[in-house]
């Protein structure tokens, strides 16, 4: 036997590391089992964007609302600068259909408590003077932010380790023992880990881990390609994306590569990140001619100035996509099996709330595990805090 723990977390991405951090803080003995290295999968290809404006009202938006509130204090909590920066974000409507979609989306988001507003074309161009072409209106969320995805992942991992968690990299999970309706141990390439709980945080590989305990998950890798441009001074820091792509995403489109215009400035380095695609191409992490071409075409048409900048690199990551969106905590399967899966491209943005919620569920030994109630409670608490500070969303 390699070791005995209270919780074995399968997957050392940003989600697994966050769960490890919050669980270790409760005093639980934790092991993170990672097949390769910490944060090498979707976490390394994450955009680092922490956005409310892009979220569907309901669970996705509520998770984002609670998680976003945890970011301002995260660096202090981890003792490590995660480079959290608030520059706001907007989503532009380039057609009547998109404008109507945005109007409805923003109305629903506002009623859920998100501080998002519709602005007109002139206001949008004032916020980002490089916008050209057809802009009818935009949604604007001043609290939309970004963090350094590598630093968020590594920060959670190292903090967990300091709190006593074991991080096992280059360690593959081969089987999970279940008996008497309860998980008992994880067999890894380095030996057996006895455990009371197993958290599936295996990202795009979540289904394989689910099968080991007889549970069918519906997580599939969704490829996202990104292009990074050279550093330049004096570009607007506000993030801009197009409503067209969001519309397709919210409708669950699986057509073609779903390339979308998204401009994100990285103020610390001065570089620009152009997104992105949403493709279902299995586990292939290659960038494609079509993907890079389409990303650049969309960028030049929305912000022509970007055409003269040099692209320095492109890459693709596999987002763990589930049509249901994120699934956290208890699910079907044996007792002691919990999940933190299906985060899509929001792994970094939702890591804090995911880690804290899953840790609370396990610390309470699976009692009182309703996510909706948890989020309602957290939102009420946040609203009360905001009220006390005299702040309104």
Partner 1 sequence: MLAADVVVIGAGPAGLSAALAARRSGASVLVLDEYPEPGGQFYKQLSSGFQVSARSRLDPDYTKGDALVGAVRAAGVELSHETLVWASFDANELAIVRRAESGTARAKCIVVATGAYERTIPFKGWDIPGVMTPGAAQTLVKHQRVVAGSRIVLAGSGPFLLPVAKSLLGAGANIVAIAEATRPESWASHAFRMWGHWDRLREAWSYRRAIAAAGIGLRFGERVVEARGRDALERVVLQACDAHGDIRTDAPAREIEADTLCVAYGFVPSVQVARALGCELTYDALRGGWIPRHDVLMQTSREHVFVAGEAAGIGGAYAAMAEGTLAGLSAARKLGLAVRASELDAAARERVHRRRFGDLVNELFAVKPGYYRAIEDATLVCRCEEISAGTLRAAIAAWGWDVNCIKGVTRCGMGYCQGRICGSTVEHLAAQVAGHAPGDRDGFNMRPPIKPVTVSTLAQLDS
Q: Residue 237 or residue 285: which is nearer to partner 1 going by CB?
A: 285
> Judged by CB under 8 A, does residue 281 bind partner 1?
no
282-311 residues in contact with partner 1 (CB under 8 A) are 286-290, 292-294, 296-297, 299-300, 306-311
Q: 70: Cβ–Cβ under 8 A, 6 or more apart, which residues? A: 352, 353, 356
Residue of 13, 112, 121, 89 lying closest to 246 (CA atoms):
89
Binding flag, residue 71, partner 1 (CB under 8 A): no
136 binds partner 1 (CB under 8 A): no
**Nearest in space to 124 (alpha carbons), one of 90, 153, 155, 157:** 90
Cβ-based nearer residue to partner 1, 6 or 294? 294
Q: Which helix (H) or strand (E) holds 33?
A: strand 30-33
Q: How far is the CB of 206 from partner 1 (least distance, A)?
A: 23
In terms of CB distance, is 310 or 367 closer to partner 1? 310
- Cα Rg for the chain, rounded, in angstroms? 21
Q: How many residues does the chain have?
A: 393
Question: What order of strands is seen across the sheet that includes strand 3-4?
Answer: 3-4, 191-194, 182-188, 173-179
| 255 sits near partner 1 (criterion: CB under 8 A) | no
Site for partner 1 contains 361 (CB under 8 A): no
Is 324 a binding residue for partner 1 by CB under 8 A? The answer is no
Closest C-alpha among 317, 316, 325, 302 to residue 250: 325
Strand partners, 272: 229, 265
Min CB(223)–partner 1 separation in Å: 14
Which residues in 59-83 are b (16+ Cβ under 10 Å) and which e? bbbbbbbbbbbbbeebbebbebebb
Between 158 and 319, name the residue whose CB sits nearer to partner 1. Answer: 158
Task: Compare residues 85 and 231 and give the one whose CB is closer to partner 1.
Answer: 231
Residues in contact with partner 1, counted by CB under 8 A, come to a total of 42
- Give me the residue label for tokens 């988001």: 109
Nearest to 8 by CA among 161, 164, 185: 185
Q: Which stretch binds partner 1 (CB under 8 A): 111-119, 138-146, 236-244, 267-275?
A: 267-275
**Which of residues 275 and 342 has its CB atom nearest to partner 1 in the complex?**
275
- 340 binds partner 1, rule: CB under 8 A: no
Per DSSP, helices labelled H in 71-223 are 74-78, 96-111, 121-127, 149-162, 206-212
229 touching partner 1, by CB under 8 A? yes
Question: Quick one: which of 104, 120, 174, 230 contacts partner 1 (CB under 8 A)?
Answer: 230
The nearest distance, CB 268 to partner 1, in angstroms, is 8
Query: Nearest 5 degrees, angle CA 156-CA 378-CA 13?
Result: 25
Considering only residues 215, 248, 281, 315, which one is a binding residue for partner 1 as defined by CB under 8 A?
Answer: 315
Which tokens belong to 339?
């999940």
Task: Considering the complex, state which of residue 41 and residue 333 has its C-beta at the smaller distance from partner 1.
Answer: 41
CB closer to partner 1, 39 vs 329: 39
Q: Which of 356, 254, 319 is nearest to 47 (CA)?
A: 319
Binding site for partner 1 (CB under 8 A): 37-40, 44, 148-151, 154, 158, 227-231, 268-269, 271, 274, 286-290, 292-294, 296-297, 299-300, 306-315
């Amino acid at each position: 036997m390699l070791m005995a723990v209270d919780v074995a977390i399968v997957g050392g991405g940003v989600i697994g590391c966050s769960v490890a951090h919050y669980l270790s803080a409760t005093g639980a003995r934790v092991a993170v089992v990672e097949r390769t290295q910490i944060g090498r999968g979707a976490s390394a290809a994450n955009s680092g964007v922490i956005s409310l404006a892009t979220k569907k009202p309901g669970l996705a938006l509520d998770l984002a609302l609670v998680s976003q509130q945890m970011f301002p204090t995260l660096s202090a909590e981890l003792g490590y600068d995660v480079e959290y920066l608030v520059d706001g974000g907007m989503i532009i409507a380039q057609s009547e259909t998109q404008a109507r979609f945005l109007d409805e989306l923003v109305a629903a988001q506002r009623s859920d408590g998100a501080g998002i507003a519709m602005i007109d074309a002139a206001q949008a161009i004032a916020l980002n003077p490089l916008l050209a072409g057809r802009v009818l209106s935009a949604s604007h969320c001043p609290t939309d932010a970004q963090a350094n995805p590598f630093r968020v992942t590594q920060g959670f991992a190292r903090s967990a380790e300091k709190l006593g968690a074991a991080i096992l990299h280059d360690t593959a999970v081969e089987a999970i023992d279940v008996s008497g309706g309860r998980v008992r141990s994880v067999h890894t390439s380095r030996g057996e880990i006895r455990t009371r709980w197993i958290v599936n945080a295996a990202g795009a590989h979540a289904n394989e881990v689910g099968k080991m305990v007889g549970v069918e998950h519906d997580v599939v890798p969704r490829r996202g390609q990104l292009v990074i441009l050279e550093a330049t001074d004096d570009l607007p820091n506000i993030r801009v994306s197009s409503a067209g792509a969001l519309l397709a995403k919210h409708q669950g489109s699986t057509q073609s590569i779903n390339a979308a215009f998204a401009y994100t400035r990285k103020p610390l380095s001065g570089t620009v990140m152009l997104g992105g695609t949403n493709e279902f191409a299995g586990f292939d992490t290659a960038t494609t001619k079509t993907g890079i071409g389409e990303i650049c075409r969309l960028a030049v048409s929305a912000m022509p100035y970007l055409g003269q900048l040099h692209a320095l690199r492109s890459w693709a990551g596999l987002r763990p996509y589930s049509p249901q969106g994120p699934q956290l905590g208890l699910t079907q399967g044996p007792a002691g099996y919990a999940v933190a899966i299906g985060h899509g491209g929001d792994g970094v943005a939702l890591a804090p709330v995911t880690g804290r919620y899953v840790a609370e569920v396990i610390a309470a030994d699976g009692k009182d595990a309703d996510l909706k109630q948890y989020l309602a409670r957290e939102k009420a608490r946040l609203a009360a805090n905001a009220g006390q500070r005299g702040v309104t969303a």
